[in-house]
Every structure is written in structure tokens, then in C-alpha cells.
Amino acid sequence: MKYLSLLLINLAIFGFAFSAAAKKPDKYFEAVHNHLNFREAASYANHVSNRNIEVGLERISKDGMKRLLGNSTSKYLPFDIAVTNNSQFRIYINQIVIKNVGGQAYPHVDLSSVIEAIDPGGKGNKDDMRDAVLRTNILEKSLPHIVINPGETVQGIVFVKSKSLSEGDELYLQIQNLKRVAFLDFKLPLN
């Protein structure tokens, strides 16, 4: 009888542990391990080049957004941006701006609102943890203001509000040559 009760307790513990391990993994935790596919800027269909610096742009699909971030949203459109430095000098991504046809800049997108749109969430410890994972994932995959050495490529995501995007809008990047303190302007259409 004693052994039978120990056997039943062990089976209950094993069953509980097995059921916890067999749960479906969280999509936000899974998305952390999915990265942008590495590409040189010249390989994008929409790219420009100026003084051996290339900038490429491509819109990320809903499936791509789910793969990279864990979920999709219709409130924001993500764009995959790559900057390749084939010059002999170090460069710095100085400005990342979305402009309308008239040249007016749209306000910068707050990443907190992007996170809220992707995962409106609820309350509790699990939701707090998911929000933290999603926030870190978006920050790591966003296009940074960074120094790029000769021969390097930097990639990242830029978010645009869906409502404000219209025909003729463009991505404006100002890149600084760190040796000559010269600025190069790059404009790519978003549509």
C-alpha cells in the first residue's frame, strides 16, 4: 500500500511536469530568436547609393512581422532598412525621418505605442514579462543611430503609422561622414 501511494504521487508529479513542458511556447519569446535576414543594401529592390554608401528599404509583410515580433498590427507598418558603408570612412546615421510629399516630417513613432498595438495585453506577471520581452525585442531590432565602419552593414526596423502614410511619402536618412564632418542625404519612397 505504501509503495502504491508513492507510485501514484510520482505519477502525479511526472504528469504535472510533462504537461507543463508540453505547453505551446509563447509567440513573443519565440520571436526573440528570429532575426532580420541579413542583406546588403544594394540587394533591396528599393535602394539608393551616394559616395559608396548604400541605403535599401523594404516593407515587412504581416507574416514577417509575426515572425520577427510575435504578432502583427494594422496600426503601424514596419520597414526593413539596411545601410551599407562601402566608403573608406566611418559614417554615422544622424537622422531617421519619415517625410510627406511637401517635405514636412511626421512625428517620431513612440515605440511604447507600437508595443501596445502589437500586444494590448492584460494584467498579471505573465503579461508584464511578455511586454518586457516584446519591448526588448523591438528595441534590439529597430534601426539604431550608430557608427558604421567601412565594409559594414547595419539593418533595422523603422515603424510608420498606417494612417499617416500616403502616396509620395519617403524615408529621409541623414548620414554623417565622420572624417570630413560632411552630411549626405538619402531619400527613398515608402510606396
- Give residue 56's pLDDT: 92
SS3 of 45-60: the string is CEEEEECCEEEEEEEC
Quote the pTM value.
Answer: 0.79
Domain locations in the chain as residue ranges:
26-189
Q: Kindly give the parts of the chain with pLDDT less than 70.
A: 1-8, 10-12, 14-25, 120-127
- Give residue 5's pLDDT: 67
Taken in order 37, 42, 45, 51, is the CA torsion positive or negative?
Answer: positive
- Give residue 154's pLDDT: 93
pLDDT digits (tens, 9 = 90+) for 100-127: 888 888 888 888 888 888 876 655 555 6
- Give residue 166's pLDDT: 80
In CATH, the number for domain 26-189 is 2.60.40
